[in-house]
Structure 1
Amino acid sequence: TIQVAMDPNTRPHDLARPGHVFPLRARKGGVLVRAGQTEAAVDLARLAGLRPGGVICEVMNDDGTMARVPQLEKFCAEHGLKMISVADLIRYRLQTERFVRRQAEGRLVNEFGEFHTIAYSTTINPEIHLALVHGDIAARDAVTVRMQTHCALGAIFGSRECDCANLVRTSLRRIVSEGAGVLVYLHESGSGLHMKPPEEEGAPRRLVSHGRTFRHYTTPDGQRLLQYESGIGAQILSDLGLRRVRLLTNHPRKIVGLEAFGIEIVEQAPVK
């Protein structure tokens, strides 16, 4: 089944559905965009000069529990296997590859203060990401940072159905009050404009704010999505020369693979 699924000549009718193998699609840009096992498998195959695809399989202990690093190291030693982490792969690719590039710089003065603005683009898609830098961040041991995902109706037009506008304003005020910091406005993982299915057949889709119950606030899948989609934001922070950051977030979580970008989160503080 796996060989058929990975064959570029395979067509939908060649496979029975639903099947016993769950297909996953890697993000374009691999582990530098999403620090996940799916992207790591595809990246490894591509780097080896093979067809960009792979098989992901969980290694289990004899008691049925999931094998952790100590057990995996022992397993590899017994079977003569090599072992790397997603972070190792990120570090390797960063030596020769770069997806995020500065496109333009400017100055913004608003009700909170003055900011150095830097526009970033990627080779993955045409979206522009924006960094607002206040003060001398190079002089700080740990820099206050807010990573804000794109929400057109909330952050731009002030919808009262979500907290995005308040999060942006509160973060900028906090950064200025501390004398230095960065707000990164990401288009990559944000909702932008949220369209809901029509309530009646034939009716147009509804354009709404994502609301306070949007997936990245509530569901486990949404939490994992935000946890993994750190590559572009991490590259922007790295380009700014940041190594130790105090992350402003109302949803503290472990950021997988961030250490591979040379960035350490020393604190996760609420936005208030």
Structure 2
Amino acid sequence: MEQSLERINTALVSLRKGKMVILVDEEAANNEAHLILPAEKVSSKAINFMSTEAKGLICLALDPNKVESLKLPLMSSSSHSKTAFTLSIDKKEIKTGSSAQDRAETIKTAIHPKASPHDLVTPGHIFPLKASQNGVLEKRTPSDAAVDLMNIAKMDRSSVICQILNNDGELTNQEELKFFSRKHHIPILNIKDIIHYRLYYEALLEIKNEKQLDTAFGPFTCLTYADKITKNEHFALIKGKIKNGCLLRIHQGCLEGDVFLSKSCHCKKNLHDSLNALSKENSGILFYHPEPITKDRCQHSNLKISYYALASQLLKQFDVTAVHVLMTHLHEVNSLKSFGISVLSKTKLEP
């Protein structure tokens, strides 16, 4: 988390000064990289730089509320792209709309707090992109990341965004991108850093129900939570009073194993062994994450990192920052640490 936070802070300093940041997604297959700039800091100089140095299409990432207030219709799309383009825009009664000055003026007009649909015309030379309501926690796109980053910076939630191309007009490779960064003194930020930052700092769990549960392994307090992004429910079985040094198990729900006792996975045994271990403790918690059945789902070797983010948030609600862990995979420990939870010891569940 420290390196991720350092990259975020470096980016925030640049953005607040009206400078650009390079946004990449190391998990994307096509090595896309984008220049982003706070829309409130846009200038003809910045637009010209994007045109001549980055060379990609200059777009305006907007939060969904802004898109709605401007009544910008989405373009129909037959592609597999997750990016939501609206109709392109120009400022009303502007000259050609294509100059750097005209495009900067269009952006300033669109993001103005009192802007209305009557201030713009379509089609135009600026291409708005509609971000998701929940940003990168809903869709992992550059436009969502850019809008989220502006929100983290406490700036207007709009961003000018432009794909970076090399001198041949192709997508940049890693070496070309590093050279571009050094040449122009522009920091590089990964989309995963923004995702991690939001999962670390934003409160995503809200309690829905609490009841006492008498199980074959003894009595537990069962808390039902819902996360604010997917609205999915998660459960916490608690033994005793939760405090630092308690025993923790994060269990990914498995309908086949936990309920129907499938012999093709170890889920039921792991769950029962965990509850048995917790029953012998004065303080312990099992975080249960239900998941719909999918093909070969039980043959998992990894769990989604969000499980650990949510479990970490639950622990922090109890002011717990250090735990003993029952685990099936080593990455569980590393994931907890990345969300600010210290691991005092780890015990591997045997299949």
The bucket for the TM-score relative to the shorter chain is: 0.5 to 0.7
Q: Which amino acid aligns with 1:244?
A: A
Are the aligned partners of 2:58 and 2:160 in contact in 1 as well (CA < 8 Å)? Answer: no
Match for residue 263 of structure 2? 160
Q: Who is 1:239 aligned against?
A: 317
- Residue aligning to 2:346: 268
Shift of 1:5: 10
CA gap 1:81/1:117 in 2 versus in 1, 3 angstroms: same
Map residues 197-236 of structure 1 onto 2, 5 A cutoff: 210=296, 214=299, 216-217=300-301, 223=302, 226-227=304-305, 229-236=307-314
In the alignment, structure 2 segments of 5+ residues that lack a partner are: 1-31, 33-55, 62-72, 85-130, 151-156, 165-170
**Aligned counterpart for 2:211 among listed residues 106, 121, 124:** 106
Give matches, 1:118-197, under 5 Å. 118-138=223-243, 140=244, 142-187=245-290, 190=291, 192-194=292-294, 196=295
Give the conservation status (yes or no) of the 8 Å contact 2:258–2:271.
yes
Cα distance in 1 for partners of 2:134, 2:333 equals: 18
**Structure 1 Cα separation of the partners of residues 162 and 256 of structure 2:** 39
Larger radius of gyration: 2
1:50 matched to 2:171? The reply is no
Q: Deviations over 1:230-262 (max 9, x none)?
A: 332322222233211222222211666644643
For residues 59-90 of structure 1, the C-alpha deviation after alignment (integer angstroms, 9 at most, x for no partner) is 8469xxxx9xxxx8x99777433466756775
Question: What is the CA distance between 1:121 and its match in structure 2?
Answer: 0.7
TM-score (norm 2): 0.50
The Cα of 1:39 is off from its aligned counterpart by 6.9
> TM-score with structure 1 length normalisation?
0.62
Shift of 1:11: 3.8
CA distance in 2, matches of 1:58, 1:266: 43
Give, in angstroms, the shift of residue 186 of structure 1: 0.8
Cα-Cα RMSD:
4.4
CA distance in 1, matches of 2:231, 2:194: 28
Given that residues 134 and 181 in structure 1 are in contact (C-alpha distance below 8 angstroms), is that contact kept between their aligned partners in structure 2? yes
Q: Deviations over 1:130-171 (max 9, x none)?
A: 101112332x4x222111112223212322232221111100
**8 Å Cα contact 1:147/1:184 also seen in 2:** yes
Amino acid at match of 2:293: L
Measured at CA, do residues 257 and 79 of structure 1 come closer, stay the same or move farther in structure 2, by a change above 3 Å? farther
The answer to whether the 8 Å contact 1:91/1:260 transfers is no
| Change in 2 beyond 3 A, CA 1:163/1:254 | closer
Question: Would you say the 8 A contact 2:240–2:283 is kept in 1?
Answer: yes
The SS at the match of 2:331 is coil
Pair 180,123 (structure 1): closer, same or farther in 2 beyond 3 Å: same
Deviations 1:188-214 (A, max 9, x none): xx3x323x5xxxxxxxxxxxxx475x2
SS in 1 for 2:186: coil
CA distance in 1, matches of 2:307, 2:59: 26
Output aligned runs, 1:239-258, within 5 Å.
239-253=317-331, 258=336
State the distance in 1 between where 2:306 and 2:331 align: 11
Determine which structure has the larger strand proportion and give its number: 2
Structure 2 CA distance for partners of 1:93 and 1:155, relative to 1, 3 Å: closer
Q: Is the contact between residue 145 and residue 194 of structure 2 (CA under 8 Å) also seen in structure 1?
A: no
Q: Secondary structure at the match of 1:124?
A: coil
Change in Cα spacing, 1:41 to 1:176, as seen in structure 2 (3 Å) is farther
Query: Does the CA contact (< 8 Å) of 2:323 and 2:344 recur in 1?
Result: yes
